[in-house]
Amino acid sequence: MNKLTIIGNLTRDPEMRTTSTGINVTTFTVAVNRRGRRDEQSNQPDADFFRVSAWRALGENCAKFLQKGRKVAVVGAVSLHMYTGSDGQTRASLEVNADDVEFLSSRSDAEAAAGGYTAPAAEAPAAEPQAAPGFTAVETDELPF
């Protein structure tokens, strides 16, 4: 069984394209921090980077609702791709073919992380609780627990 679950943040906005057969695919990269390990120079957590491909409707939703900095959980099969970089070095890339993508942060969370401002919601005045038809309102002081 080849199934990987990762939770991390998008490193850039997703990119959607359409294959020659008309199928939509969205790609994005997720940075996953390693617990307890930090880069000695920058004092930032060490991270692993996974390239994610989401196909069809899942990819369309990712392209529509995700953006750089958003936290996501991705479940899917992982594969290793070898390639030669522009400097002639052989490199490896971990790629995940997403079966499921769960959006873990809201747009307002991403905007706040990016320096945006969201005004706090005004609190509505507390309303008296109303008993639904067929039920009797009970004071919480009367409960034995």
Q: Is 68 within a domain?
A: yes
Using CA atoms, how far apart are residues 4 and 1, in angstroms rounded to an integer?
A: 10
Predicted TM-score of the model (pTM):
0.68
What single-letter DSSP state applies at residue 68?
Answer: T
14 within a domain of the structure (yes/no): yes
DSSP codes of every residue in 87-123: TS-EEEEEEEEEEEEEE-S-HHHHHHHTT---PPPPP
- Burial class from Cβ neighbours inside 10 Å (0-12, 13-18, 19+) for residue 39 reads exposed
Q: Does residue 117 sit within a domain? A: no
**Tell me: the pLDDT tens digits for 92-101?**
888 999 999 9
Please compute, for residue 23, the number of CA atoms within 13 A of its CA located in the half-sphere on the CB side.
7
Residues 6+ apart with CB under 8 A from 69: 9, 10, 110, 113, 114
pLDDT digits (tens, 9 = 90+) for 101-113: 999 987 666 555 5
Residue 140 lies in a domain: no
Q: Does 20 reside within a domain?
A: yes
Tell me the CATH number at 28: 2.40.50.140
Q: What is the pLDDT of residues 4-28, one digit of tens each?
A: 999 999 999 999 999 999 999 999 9
Tell me how many domains the chain contains. Answer: 1
Residue span of the structural domain in which 34 resides? 4-104
**Does 56 score more than 90 pLDDT?**
yes
Instruction: Quote the pLDDT of residue 34.
Output: 86
| Whole-angstrom Cα Rg for the chain | 23
